[in-house]
Amino acid sequence: MEIPSVYLERTVEQFASLPGIGRKTAMRLVLHLLRRERQDVEAFANTLNELVQNVRYCVDCHNISDEERCSICSNPSRDHTTICVVENVQDVMAIEATQQYRGVYHVLGGIISPMDGIGPQDLEILSLVERAREPEVQEIILALSPTMEGDTTCFYIYRRLADADVRVTTLARGVAQNDQLQYTDEVTLGRSIVDRRPFKGT
């Protein structure tokens, strides 16, 4: 498909370079932008520039932040004795949305994945080990995805934390809320029987 304008072509290429966006979708998005007011598109471009010029990462937990220290790490009412280790910024937001966690976070910035060439040295693991040695820290929660890469990363971090005086925990695994038992995979269902909990009849 030949594109009649080099400027259109370049913008379509940029959008098509984003994950999950093919050339046809990119074209649709760009032509949608072209139907907007010119200053709206310039505002779009401007937010992108402002983002990369101003975005920072929290010096403690490496979450995205507008300040040197993010709003969670700098909040004195959060429990700084517990650190929840997550893969990325979305996971922080997902856990925050549950309103079940009052501790702080540590964003690894990825997960060990030899297939993608991501090793431990590419992640914020060294800084986690350092944080775990601070006397106030009592518990490290490994909240990584229950996949092979997630488990590998958990094991690696667990070994690196061996000589730190902290309790290492991980997320409970079991059947998800509203799952149909007959469609639950064998591993999850088997584990949920082995890890069964006392029934609270209240």
CB closer to a copy of itself out of 92 and 154: 92
Q: Is 43 helix (H, G, I), strand (E, B) or coil?
A: helix
Q: Quote the CA–CA distance of 164 and 140 in Å, as a whole number.
A: 10
27 lies in the site for a copy of itself, by CB under 8 A: yes
Question: In the set 22, 55, 147, 185, which binds a copy of itself (CB under 8 A)?
Answer: 55
49 lies in the site for a copy of itself, by CB under 8 A: yes
DSSP helix, strand, coil percent of the chain (3-state; round to 5): 45, 15, 45
Nearest to 7 by CA among 25, 31, 28: 31
Quickly tell me which residue has 């966006």 as its tokens: 21
Residues 63-102 that bind a copy of itself (CB under 8 A): 63-66, 70-72, 88-90, 92-94, 96-97
Write out the residues near a copy of itself by the rule CB under 8 A.
1-8, 10-11, 13-14, 18-21, 25, 27-34, 38, 41-56, 63-66, 70-72, 88-90, 92-94, 96-97
